Amino acid sequence: MAKLEILEFPDPRLRKVAAPVTCVDDDIRTIIDNMFETMYDAPGIGLAAIQVGVPKRVLVIDLQPEDEEAEGEVCNHGGHEHVHYPTVKEPRVFINPEILDPAEELASYQEGCLSVPDIFADVDRPATCRVRYQDLEGETHEEDLEGLMATCIQHEMDHLEGILFIDHLSRLKRNMALKKLKKLREAA
Ligand code: GNR
Ligand code: NI
């Protein structure tokens, strides 16, 4: 496995429309292995192949949910007591994904993007949707998604069309985000 370089805004390669995968072969499976290593290292909950310079319609996602069956650790910062559980790995691969039946109802999540580091903003998207995709064997599946998974797959699908989450913000909020990104880069 190898960690890959993540392209960052305003790299023009992030604006390309990714091409369908015509054959799910070992080359694609190697890219996917490397995408997982890159995503876990970042760390992030999703990654589109285009973010590592591969303009193909491939996504990996792992929401790494907390395992509430496991023993939690009580934590007390700022006088606010809560429990942290260890996370479990739930790696998901989506090849040639298509979004079906997006809900009219919207949900708002604070999004971030590994290609727009350290910038976070609320984005409204359809609260639920269906996804059709191929797996590592090239088999086609369909699945209903909700919550963070629905948001994340829509964020990743945008990457396949050359769209970034900052494109969904009002001009004022986008300009604020880009100003902050410039400042953070100057400080680094
Ligand atoms: O790590 C990520 N977190 C995230 C949070 C809210 C909505 C979407 C995401 S995806 C992002 C990783 C990334 O940039 N994927 O393209
Ligand atoms: Ni992203």
Question: For the residues 109-133, what does the mean pLDDT come to?
Answer: 98
Give the residue whose CA is nearest to atom 13 of ligand 1: 113
Q: Are 128 and 150 in contact (CB under 8 A)?
A: yes
- The owner of tokens 């192949």 is 49
d(CA 165, CA 116): 9
pLDDT tops 80 at residue 78:
no
Is the C-beta atom of 111 inside 6 A of ligand 1? yes
Tell how far the Cα of 114 is from the centroid of ligand 2, in angstroms. Answer: 5
Is the C-beta atom of 48 inside 6 A of ligand 1? yes
* HSE-up of residue 81 (Cα within 13 Å, Cβ side): 2
Question: How confident is the model over 133-161, as pLDDT tens digits?
Answer: 999 999 999 999 999 999 999 999 999 99
Burial class of residue 137 in the structure, from the number of CB atoms within 10 Å of its CB (0-12 exposed, 13-18 middle, 19+ buried): exposed
| Ion ligand 2 — residues with CB < 5 Å | 113
